[in-house]
Amino acid sequence: MRIVLFCLVCLSTLATSADRVRSVGTDNMNLEGLLPADCLIYVRFKDLPKQITQWQTSKLAERYYRSSNRKLWLERRLGLKLAERLADLESSLSGSVTLDAIKAAIDGEAVLGVYDIGDTQFIFIARANSVAKLLSISNFDKKRSELGRTYYCGTPSIKFQVCWAHIDGLLIVASRERLLLDALANLDNEGKDSLMKRSDYAEAMVGNFHDITVWVDFAKVGSGKHFHRYWLYRNFEELSQIRTAVIDLEFRVLADQITDIVERRTYLLKSSEPVLTFEAAQLRKVAVRVPYVSHRINPVTPESYLGLFEWLLFRPEVKETKGRTGFYYYEDTSSEEDFYRLAYARKDEYYSLGETDDWHYAALGEDYRVNIDDPVSAGGGVALSEELRKKLAERRRAVEVMMREALEPAKPILAAQFGNSSLGTFISTDYGLIMLLREPKVFSEERFEAALRQMLQYRLLASKNAAPQWSGDSVSGRHLIFPLIDRGVSYVLDGDLLIVSNNKEYFEKLKVPVAAVYPRLHFDRLSSYRVVRLSDRQAAAKVFEVLDKAAVVATSSNDVTTDEESSLEESFGKEVVGLLDVVAEVAEVTFEESRQLGRWEEVVSYRFSFPKGKPRVGRPASSPRRVDSSKGN
């Protein structure tokens, strides 16, 4: 009787489990509802097979596969490591993975969850029409979960044991058995312990999403050793304020050709500090006066007045120092921790790199653009006397007071900064600054001219009596030129726009209004706007050719430079020019930034050059639309 009762209990349990398994449908399930909650990075592909086809047939892919960048990437440590991981993955699969195989097996939407960046652990989930096109059952061991779900496990390798399940047309592939079982558990308990249940995920994933969407647990990823090792910009203090990040990509297509890519970035912040912003209409008013060059537009505060004009007048065109300046890294496959090393000195040093036993790095003070008579910034290695340091600070404060007295009553709102570089015997840049004033009628020309004259006199002349006088008029422009050194400043107040340049000829061009082509904006209020134009690739190639030659000369004259280090320096310019060739169709990139309390949003628009006579896709933000590439719009 006990045996019979035991069997009845077992049969009842199995039947209950089977009923529970059958009751969970997958047709309308959100795929992220299966991903375990401890996900670090989540990627959603709206239509993975179509996106693979777009990539394979694009000119971008064709150029990339034959580019020097891909060759150099494959030879670098990170490229070699990822190649090892792919080989390890294929070892567990007992077969190779190709884009064509993925494209043939998958139907539409797919998601990817990353759980360990260093060990490349993941879960991939998609609706699949045929597993046989991607995976061979004969290469896997058949197993069952606690609730009777059938799944398969491959051969354990160094980092992976690929396991997968195909349930009601849903394919789940994981790099470890534990990850797959967690996903199956979420399938059985309706996502109780899934990524969708996390508050930071739900808070960030709000709105309409497009072709590829990426969610990042930035609090964990940004503090990890891999991010700190590979993130080039080293602005960890600024990024430490980000809790969660979402990146959404939209591909705008016309006649099977991508015309624009719009990248929407959203960051949720730990703190909620107020940020200065300006209206989109104010930005357009300034943007239409900026010549067709790369530029940035930011709000201005009284604290930033002096810095804007120091940038305009004293930014060096070429600065040559004894030794090396810039970021330096070396590759050492013998030690994971020593692979990427950046030696930094004090925070107030600009591109400062400290010293090692074998290398000496020159250090430029951050104020070298302002104080040309600073022996430390000039590389002399002589400490400033307290008296001289005090004198320099007093001079700068005096000019700052004069500049505030001139500008603050006029209430500047925002400023556009831009420059026009030319390559001749020397690389030179003419700089321009256009400032929007809220109260232009109370702008003080007298105080403004006195401040600029004092700035130039302090920085460029040893004798106070040799300074030239202002010339011109308030209608055509005012000029203060130092003829012997060909430096100076020109300005005019045109309505509510203050237009300033460090070159008289460039200034004359700035006075002519640009055609009224308003930038397409996504925000009503912005905290920053930038434009990068990639049209003049030939000039960029010449610049890097000069820099590469200088690097070869510098490294060949240094006995301790290895061939590998020399090749890294020599190839840097080739990599940049190679990337410009890969993205040859991209003519312009715009960056819109809007910061609110606790939220930081960016829209990056990549605008492709278009053959003459073909229409453009996209409308101004006042009449937005979503482009559905599946309908051929």
Tell me whether residue 627 is in a domain: no
Q: Do 93 and 155 belong together in one domain?
A: yes
**Bridge partners for 214 per DSSP:** 43, 247
φ, ψ for residue 291, nearest 5 deg = -65, 165
Query: Which H or E run contains 263?
Result: strand 257-269
Amino acid at 205: M
Closest CA relative to residue 508, chosen from 478, 533, 536, 470: 478
* Whether residue 235 sits in one domain with residue 325: no
* 604, 589 contact by CB (below 8 A): yes
**Which stretches of the chain score pLDDT less than 70?**
1-29, 315-385, 422-427, 460-467, 483-486, 515-517, 535-543, 546-572, 610-633
Identify the pLDDT of residue 78. 84
pTM of the model: 0.77
**How far, in Å, CA of 436 to CA of 37, rounded?**
49
Dump pLDDT digits (tens) for 153-177: 999 999 999 999 999 899 999 999 9
Contact 489, 456 (CB under 8 A): yes
Is residue 608 domain-resident? no
Residues 230 and 283 in one domain: no
* Structural domain harbouring 502: 278-533
Within a domain: 607: no
Among 506, 533, 560, the domain boundary falls at: 533
Domain annotation covers residue 383: yes
Q: Of 498, 533, 568, which marks where a domain is finished? A: 533
| Same-domain status, 215 and 299 | no
51 in the same domain as 107? yes
Same domain, 217 and 359: no
Token pair, residue 480, equals 């203060």
Whether 239 and 295 share a structural domain: no
Instruction: Give one DSSP letter per residue of 414-454, joined into a string.
Output: EEEEEEEEEESSSEEEEEEEEEEES-GGG--HHHHHHHHHH
What is the Cα–Cα distance from 569 to 574, expressed in whole angstroms? 10
Determine, yes or no, domain membership for 76. Answer: no
Strand partners, 489: 480
Q: What is the 3-state secondary structure (H, E, C) of 150-184?
A: EEEECCCCCCCCCEEEEECCEEEEECCHHHHHHHH
396/302 Cα distance (integer angstroms): 14
Query: Has residue 518 been placed in a domain?
Result: yes
Half-sphere exposure of 532 (CA within 13 A, CB side): 10
Q: Is 19 within the bounds of a domain?
A: no
For residue 11, what is the enclosing H or E element? helix 2-23
Decide: 57 and 148 in contact? Cβ < 8 Å.
no
Q: Each residue of 175-214: pLDDT tens digit?
A: 999 999 999 999 998 888 999 999 999 999 998 899 999 9
For residue 20, give the amino acid letter: R
- Return the axis-axis angle of helices 68-75 and 77-93, rounded to nearest 10°: 80
Burial (CB count <10 Å: 0-12, 13-18, 19+), residue 338? exposed
486 and 529 together in one domain: yes
Q: How many domains does the chain have?
A: 2
Does residue 296 share a domain with residue 400? yes
CB 478 within 8 A of CB 449: yes
Last residue of a domain, one of 485, 502, 533: 533
- For residue 183, being part of any structural domain is answered with yes
In this structure, the answer to whether residues 221 and 332 fall within a common structural domain is: no
| One domain for residues 285 and 360 | yes
Instruction: Verify that 291 and 423 share a domain, yes or no.
Output: yes
**Alpha helices for 176-325 (secondary structure H):** 177-188, 199-204, 218-221, 225-230, 236-239, 280-287, 305-314
